[in-house]
Structure 1
Amino acid sequence: MTSAPQSPRSEPTDPKDRPARLTVGVVGAGRVGPALAASLQLAGHRPVAVSGVSDASVRRAATLLPDVPLVPPAEVLARAELVLLTVPDDILPGLVEGFVETGSIRPGQLLVHTSGRYGAKVLDPALRAGALPLALHPAMTFTGTAVDVQRLAGCSFGVTAPEELRLAAEALVIEMGGEPEWIAEEMRPLYHAALALGANHLVTLVAQAMDLLRDAGVTAPDRMLGPLLGAALDNALRSGDAALTGPVARGDAGTVAAHVAELREHAPQTVAGYLAMARATADRALAHGLLKPELAEDLLDVLATGAEESR
C-alpha cells in the first residue's frame, strides 16, 4: 500500500533535502491539475506523467510541468502513486468507472479528484478496486499560469475522505501551501453552490458593471471599480450584512426606479439581474435592521413593478 504523505512540518524545509516521495500523475491538464502538481513538486514529490488533449492543455503542461511526459490517461495511472483527476464534474464519474473497468487502478494508489461538487463517494468504484480516495477541492479561481502556484499559499481546500485517510488528505493540502477545511460528504453540493454563488457570479457582476461604466463614458472602468470593489469585499468579509450600503439598503425607492429605467433603456439584459440582487439585498437589509420598514414598502413596490414589466 502506498504510504501516506507526512506533514512537511517534521521534514527539512528545502524540498531537495527531503527523501524521494510520491510519484504524481495528472489526468486532465486543465487550469487546476498542472498547478497542483507543480505545488506538490515544490513539496518534494515527483510529477512523472500528465495527460491532456487540447493545445491549451499541452501548453499548460509544458509551462508548469516541463520535462514531464504527456501520455494517455491509462499510462498516467500506470506510472504514478498519486493521481490527480482534474477533469470537469460531469466527466468524473464515467472516467472513474472506465479506469476500473479497464483495470487501470492499482491497490494502494492515491486517487485525488478536485471537483467541488463531489465528495469521496464518486470514487467508490476505485475504492473497491483498492485505491485510496480523496476529494481535495481548492477554493480558488485558476488562470492556467504559474501565478496559480503562488495563489495556493493560504488557499482553503474543501477536503472529504474516508476517516482513515483524513490525516493523509490534510497533509497533502498543507504540503501544497493550503489550509484544509473538512466538508461532510452530504454537504459537498451546498459547499460548491456557495463558492459558485460568490466567485462565479461576482465575475459576471463586475463585468456587467464595467460594461455599463464604459457606456456612461468612463475610460478606465477597471481603475474606477478596483478600489470600490476591493473595499466592499473587505467590508463584507469583515462585517457581513452590516457592510451593506447604497440606495437599496437606504430604502431610496426613487433612485432604484431611476436605475431600472436607465438599465431598461441602455442595457436591458442586465435588468433581471439587477432586480434579483436588489430584492435579495432588500430582504437581508430588512432582516438585519438596516432598511427601515416604512421605507421598504415603496422600494419593494418598485422592484415588483420592474419584475412584472420584465416578463
Structure 2
Amino acid sequence: MEIQDHSQRLLRDERFLLSQRPLVSQYECFPSGYENIRKKDCQDNPKKGIQTEQTGMIHQRRSIFMKASFAIVGCGRVGCALAGQMQRAGYRPAGLASKSLSSARDAAEQLGTELFSDKPWEVTKHADVVFITTPDGQIENAASLLADKQGVKKNAVVLHCSGSQPSTILSVLKPCGVSIGSLHPLQSFASKQMEGNPFENIIAAIEGEPDAVAMASRIATDLSATCLTIRTDAKTAYHAAAVVASNYLVAIQDLAFRLLALAGIPPENAFPVLGPLIQGTVANIKKVGTQKALTGPIVRGDTDTVRTHVHEIRRLAPDLLSLYQCLGRHTVLVAESGGNINEEKAAELLALLSES
C-alpha cells in the first residue's frame, strides 16, 4: 500500500509539472515504470490516455497551445523591438543573429537568452518562424545565405519586415520547403528599446503565401496590431503611400513653417500657430474623407487669392514656388473630383499654378 501511495504521489507530481509546460496537442510519454498504474488509470477513465502496444507506455494527450519558436536575423531597431514583444507574447526565441556579434549579444541579453551568433544559419535552422529584419538592400543576400547553408527547417515560415520589398525576394528559400511572406509594421522605430509596445494599435501590412500570411497574421494579432493584407504585386504602391503620409507630411509642414517665417513668425512658434489647424484637418479627413475635408481658396474657386500667393511666393521665396504650385495642381484635381469646382474653373486654376 505504501509503495502504491508513493507511486500515486509521483504520478500526481509528474502531471502537475507537465501541466506547467506549454505543449501543442501532442502525446506526452510517461516512463514504463508506471505502466500498471497508467493501465488502471486508463481503464478507470479511457479518455485520459492511450496505451502503446510496442512500448507499454501510456501517452497522455494535452491540448495546451505552445506558440512558435522564432529567430531574428538583423538586430537593429525593428528586429530588437520585434524580438522583445514576441517573447512577451509567449513566442520562444530560437536565437538572434547579426553581422555584428556584439549587436547579436546585446539583443540576446535583452531577451535573457544565450542563443546568438554572427552566423545566422546557426540560429535559424531550429526556428518555426524566421524574421529577416536587415536593411532592405541586404534581405535577398541574407535569404541566399540561409538557402546555401540549409539554415531553415522544412515547413518553417520566413518573413521579412520591409515595407517596400515584396515577399518574392525570399524565393531563393522555396526549395528548402518553407513558406515565404512579409510583415511590415506601419510604425517608426526610433530606438532598439522603446517604451511600451510599439506594435499596439498599429497597422501590420501582410502579404505572401497562405501559410506565411496565416502565421504573420497570428503574430501581428498577438502583438496587438491590426492586420492588413495587401497585394504582393503592388506592395511598392503601399509603401509609397506610407512615405507620402509620413515623410512628405513633414516636408509639407516645413514648407508651411518657412512661409510662416516670411510673415515674421519664428520657427519655435510655427507649430503652436499651425498645430490646431493641422490636427483639425486630420480629424476632418478621418471623419469625412479627403474630398469633403478640403477647404481653402482652391475648393472655393478663388483664383484671385491663388494668384496673389503665386506672385508673393515668387517675390519672397522663389525656391518654394514650384512645390507650392505642384501641391496646388493636385489640390485642384481633388476639388474637381469632389464636385466643388467645375471643369472651366479647374482649367483656370491649373494654368495659374503651372506658370513658371
What TM-score do the two structures reach when normalised by structure 2? 0.70
Provide closer, same or farther for how the CA distance between residues 112 and 247 of structure 1 changes in structure 2, counting only shifts above 3 A: same
Alpha-carbon separation, structure 1, partners of 2:71 and 2:259:
45
Specify the alignment match of 1:35 in structure 2: 81
For 1:263, the aligned partner's letter is: I
Is the contact between residue 69 and residue 129 of structure 2 (CA under 8 Å) also seen in structure 1? yes
Deviates more, 1:73-82 or 1:150-159: 73-82
Aligned residues: 290
Match of 2:284 in 1: 235
My pick for the range that moved more, 167-176 or 26-35, is: 26-35
Structure 1 portions without partners, runs of 5+: 7-17
Write the letter of the residue equivalent to 1:217: I
- Offset of 1:283 from its aligned partner? 0.9
Structure number with greater CO (CA < 8 Å, separation at least 6) is: 1
Counterpart AA for 2:73: V
Say if 1:63 and 1:27 are closer, same or farther in 2 by CA, change over 3 A. closer
- Rounded Cα–Cα distance in structure 2 between residues aligned with 1:64 and 1:235: 45
Change beyond 3 A, Cα 1:269–1:77? farther
C-alpha distance in 2 between matches for 1:78 and 1:165: 17
Aligned to 1:193: 240
Query: Which among 296, 299, 302 is matched to residue 349 of structure 2?
Result: 299
Q: CA offset at residue 239 of structure 1?
A: 1.6
How far off is 1:268 after superposition? 3.6
Deviation readout 1:252-309 (Å, 9 max, x if unpaired): 223223333343344444322221111011011012111244543432221121xxx2
Tell me how far apart the structure 2 counterparts of residues 53 and 217 of structure 1 sit (CA, whole Å): 48
Change (3 A) 1:63 1:108: closer
For 2:211 and 2:306, the matched residues in 1 are separated by 54
Per-residue CA deviation, residues 163-187 of structure 1 (Å, 9 max, x unaligned), is 2444322111101111111212223
Judge conservation of contact 1:35–1:148 (CA < 8 Å) in 2: no
CA distance change for structure 1 residues 46 and 258 in 2, over 3 Å: closer, same or farther? farther
User: Structure 2 matches for 1:54-203, cutoff 5 A?
Assistant: 58=103, 65=110, 67-68=112-113, 71-74=117-120, 75-78=122-125, 80-144=127-191, 146-147=193-194, 150-203=197-250
Say if 2:288 is the partner of 1:251.
Answer: no
With the length of structure 1 as denominator, give the TM-score of the two structures.
0.79
Q: Secondary structure at the match of 1:65?
A: helix
What's the CA shift for 1:228? 1.6
2: CA distance, partners of 1:235 / 1:178: 24
Q: Does 1:224 align with 2:273?
A: yes
Segments of structure 2 that go 5 or more residues without pairing to the other structure are: 1-23, 26-63
Does the aligned pair in 1 maintain the 2:125–2:150 contact within 8 Å?
no
- Percentage identity across paired residues of the two chains: 27
Over 3 Å counting, the alpha-carbon distance change for 1:152 and 1:226 in structure 2 is farther
- Supply the distance in 1 between the matched residues of 2:273 and 2:71 (Cα, whole angstroms): 43
Aligned to 2:56: none
Of 271-280 and 69-78, the range deviating more from structure 2:
69-78
